[in-house]
Every structure is written in C-alpha cells, then in structure tokens.
Structure 1
C-alpha cells in the first residue's frame, strides 16, 4: 500500500522530469536556430586556428649529441649551427680514404713516369757496353776476313771466320734488345695499366668525398632563417639517424587553418582572400587561400563548436599577410570571414 508521503515524492519527481524535458527541448531548439553560425552567408564566420608548419632539423648519420648551439625561442639565420654529433667513426673513415687516394695516386704517377732515372741509366750503360762489344766483334771479323783473303786458309780458317761472324750476330742482337728495353722504359707503363690506375684513383676519390660528406652531416646548420621552437634531445644522448633534434618555425611556416561546411565550399578557391580575426588582436588581417582539401573530415576537437561538432567539413589553409606573421602563434583560435577575390 502506497503511503501519502510516497505519492507526494513521485509527483514531485514527475514534475521535475517534465521541467528538465522542457528545458532540453528549448536548448535543442535554440541550437537548431544557431546551427548556421559557421556557414558564410547564413552566419558570420568559420572557425579555425593558427598552424605552424615546422621544419625539423636532423642528421642522416647517427651518433652521440655533443653540442646544442641554440635555445628555444632563439632566432637563427640560414647556415647557423644548430647542433653537433660525435664525429667518430666518420672522421676515421675520411682519414683512411685520404690515405688510399694518396697511395693510388703514387702508383699512377709511377706508371706514367716509367722506370726510375737510375734504372734508365743502368739500361743505357748496358747498351753502351753492348755496342762497344759489337764494334770489337765486327773489327775482329773484318781483320780475319782480310787475312783469309791475303794469306789463305793456312793462317785463318773458314771455321774461325764463321765463329767470329756468329759472335757479331749475337752482339748485334744484344744491342737491339737493349735499345728496345730503353725505349719501353722511357715510354712509362702500358696504356692499359695506366688507365686502370687512373680509374682506381677516380673511384677512391669518390669514396673520399662520400666519407667527407658523412662527416659533414655530423654538424647540422639551419636550412633557413627561423625561430627555434624546441630542442628534442639533450647533450650526451644517442641520436638515431634521421631523428629530428631541433624544431624550427620559419617566417613563412605560420598559416591559417580553418574548416568550412560543404555548402560553403563552392564559394572558395585557391588564391581567394579571406578576413581573419584572432582573439586578443585588434582588427582583422587578410590571408590568401593556398590549399583546400579534397576530402571531407569531421570537425577536429580543437574547434569547440556545438553546432558543427558532428558535421563533415573541409579543411582550408591560407597564408597570412606579412605584417600579421609576427603577431601570430601556433594554436591560437581564430575566426575567418569571406573576403574579396
């Protein structure tokens, strides 16, 4: 059996639920009326935020971080040193490559130069001795022929003349051989050997440049003038190859990113001008659309809009005018209105 107090409590609960339901309906109706606030032509703005297109400085080589030359918030110029990694083992590889090139160049020079001057002098001396021996042999042969003709075979036999003639031939062959050896020595190495040595030197020089390039990668400089946003490693830590160590924000890296519904998309095109307002900054500034995404997406959580929370939108990026860049900071919320094309 239900008592009177219980019936009173239930009646109060029903009246409370009816009141909440009525308030909920009123809020939904108000939300429906404000749903067009983000669409140009029906409301006054699209929502967005300032985005920073950072440049991440990294080395193609890994190693221990020995120096960070910049701090957060520091302005750097193009070519200014950002950080250094331990130069080893690349420094050793450069030295080894340099020694290999020097050895190959010495071998090439030796082939192109031919034999040493002292070796040439020795060949020339041997040639002179061979020519002298040839001269004596010819003179001896000539005298024996004259004796054979004047005195006959009783003084000089035919066999003796033949023997001296054979000695002349041997000495003449020695002279010809030494003359050819001397000419070859003066010419230097064979063309094939010289060409192979030249190719070896060229290959080793390429390896030396590659080793020097790898060593140079241990010192990383700013690719452009920028503001240091963050340093991602501490001195002493080992940095893997390709991992960013310093994050930079170049002046042209600040952009306006906002989101428009599908109904407003046909009214926008790359190159169009829009008006931008940022909380805390007086007045508006212009930005020029540089990119409109081709795919729809859900409104990102950073855009706190109850009306457009569940709608599909298209992302648009615009480049602010130069005078406004210094006043903008990534993450700032902003409002965008259509401007003149």
Structure 2
C-alpha cells in the first residue's frame, strides 16, 4: 500500500512538471549600458568668458545662445576694417570721377571762350587782309601774318578743348583697376573681422541637456578647450553585446526591450550591428559562462529621456520587423 502511494505521488509530480518542461523558455536578456555621444562645445579662440547663458542640468533649444567670450579686440578689428573700407570707397570714387574739380573745369571753359573770341577776331582780320591783298593795298607779309595768327588762335582753342575733355575723364585704367581691387580687399577684411566677432558668441547646434560647464564667468578659456558639454536626446544609444551563436537572430530595425534597476521598461530599435566579432569587454559581468567572441550592437531608445549615460541595462530581443 505504501509503495503504491509513493508511485502515485511521483506520477503527480511528473504530471505537474510537464507544462514547465515543455514550455518555451524566455530569451535570456543581454547585458549592456547606456552610451551617449556628448557634444563638447568651445570657442575657436582664446579669451575671457564674458557671459554664460545656460546652467548645468538645464536644457537648451537649438540656436539658443550658450556663452560669449570678451570681444574688445574683435570689435576694434571690425572698426578698423570699416575705416579701411571707407577709405577704399573714397579712393575708388575719386578714380572714377573726373580728374579736374568743377572749379578747375570752369576756368578751362572760360579759357575756351577767350580762345574762341580770339579765333573769331583772327578770322575777321584774315578776311580783311585777304581782300586788301587782292586789291593791292596790303602786302604779302601782312597776309602771311594774318594767316599765321588765325592758325595759332585755332590751335589754342583746340588745346583748351582737349584739356576740358581730359578733365572729364576718370583716372587711367590701371589706377581704376587698382582702386577696385583695394575696395574688394577692404570688403573681404571687414567680412572676416565681422565673422571673427560673431564667433565669440556660440549658440547651441542642437537641442539637448547641459551636462557640464567647464568654465565660469571671468575665467580665461584656452583655445580648443570645451566650455559646455551638450547632450542631444538623439545622441543617446543602448550598447550591448551578443554572443556569436545568437547574432543571426537579430537584424537592423528589430525592436528590443530595455530594462534597468532604476527606470521603467522602454522600447528601442537596433540601429547598428558590428560586422566583425570581438572579445567580451570587461564591463560585461555575468554568473553564467559566456562565449568569448561577441558582436557589438547599438539600439536607439524610443524615450531617451528616461535613460542616463553609463547606466547598466538589460536588453531583451523582440520579434523581427
């Protein structure tokens, strides 16, 4: 009787265990962490920090100001470039204008009228002398003198008119070209000085959270050193590693489930799968024995605001898309 009871008990236990034995095992989650591509933003030159427009832990919209360095030297360079441009503009206008001033041209026109009057008088004198010579009351010498006087006055008039024409002409072509080139160079220098001034104030290249401020107001920032660490939400990634034997079950765009100790579960999609294998990194810890060769995989979280860089997570693969 006792033996029958033991057999019946073992049979009941076996029947109760059958659902667990044949049930589909849930996939083992992969260990990983939250990775962030932080933007380290600084100025192109050195200088004293004059203004900081953000705070650590705060957020900033794309295009909003982050900080500004002192601008006294750059403002002086802009002023000097503007003065040089004004000087080049004046030189170009002078080269393009008439070579003589209006007052000088008025003097030439008066000389023209005088020369013209002398020529008319010489013409009349020549006509009278020619008539007298034909009548025999004037000598040939008088006629020759009258002809010479008329020719001299005509040449004098032509000379004055040539001076007036020359006075209205601009400078020589070479001088005019040089003035235009100086004007273009002055414009380029002004644009360069204005660009250098604008670069002293830096705006956010993308929306995100302010992770770190490395300098405070009044401190001198060396060239090439970051002043603000900015983390855009789209730069947050989930990085995990998958054994070589399981890599075939994953594909780009496949959804995964991300869980951690201090956050609510969230979704992500695989955005990168390494082509080559590597050894298990030291950041991965597990009580089970893992394959030595693994593949690095990255996933884009659907809600990056719930995750913090460096946070360890567990990633469970979902169905293929």
TM-score range, shorter chain: 0.7 to 0.9
Aligned partner of 2:304 in structure 1 is: 325
| Cross-structure match for 1:51 | 35
Going from structure 1 to structure 2, the CA distance change for 1:92 and 1:310 (only over 3 Å counts) comes to farther
Instruction: Give the Cα separation in 2 of the matches to 1:63 and 1:298.
Output: 45
Counterpart mapping for 1:226-305 below 5 A: 226-282=208-264, 284-305=265-286
In 1, the alpha carbon distance for the partners of 2:114 and 2:290 equals: 108
Question: Shift in Å at residue 104 of structure 1?
Answer: 1.1
How far apart in 1 are the matches of 2:288 and 2:87?
77
Asked if residue 174 in structure 1 is aligned to residue 189 in structure 2, the reply is no
2:198 to 199, 216, 226: 216
RMSD: 2.4
Kept after mapping to 1: 8 A contact 2:273/2:296: yes
CA distance in 1, matches of 2:289, 2:296: 13
Looking at structure 2, the residues matched to 113 and 308 of structure 1 have their Cα atoms a distance apart, in angstroms, of 90
* Equivalent residue in structure 1 for 2:128, among 136, 143, 148: 143
C-alpha separation between the residues in 2 aligned to 1:70 and 1:290? 32
Mapped partners of 1:168, 1:49: distance in 2 = 108
User: What is the distance in 2 between the residues matched to 1:176 and 1:57?
Assistant: 73
C-alpha contact 1:105 1:201 (8 A) present in aligned 2: yes
Distance 1:241 1:171 in 2: 77
Which of 75, 96, 102 is 1:112 aligned to? 96
**Separation of aligned partners in 2, 1:72 and 1:300:** 32
Partner Cα distance (1:67, 1:204) in 2: 31
Shift in alpha-carbon separation, 1:129–1:333, aligned structure 2, 3 A? same
Contact 1:274–1:338 at 8 Å: present in 2 too? Answer: yes
Residue 305 of structure 1 aligns to a residue in which SS?
coil
Of 77, 80, 83 in structure 2, the residue corresponding to residue 99 of structure 1 is 83
Query: Is this contact kept in 2: 1:90–1:211, CA < 8 A?
Result: yes
User: 1:269 deviation in Å?
Assistant: 2.7
Alignment length (residue pairs): 295
- TM-score scaled to structure 2, two decimals? 0.83
Map of 1:63 onto structure 2: 47
Q: Mark the CA change 1:47 to 1:235 in structure 2 (over 3 Å): closer, same or farther.
A: same
Please, which moves more after superposition, 261-270 or 227-236?
261-270
Per-residue CA shift, 1:10-62, capped at 9, x if unaligned?
xxxxxxxxxxxxxxxxxxxxxxxxxxxxxxx9951111111122122222222
Q: Distance in 1 between matches of 2:238 and 2:252?
A: 13
Q: Does 1:186 align with 2:168?
A: yes
User: What SS does the corresponding residue of 2:72 show, helix, strand or coil?
Assistant: coil
Check whether the contact 2:277–2:294 (CA below 8 A) recurs between aligned residues.
yes
Task: State the 1:191 CA deviation.
Answer: 4.5
Gaps of 5+ in 2: 1-24
Query: Contact between 1:229 and 1:249, CA under 8 Å: does it hold in 2?
Result: yes
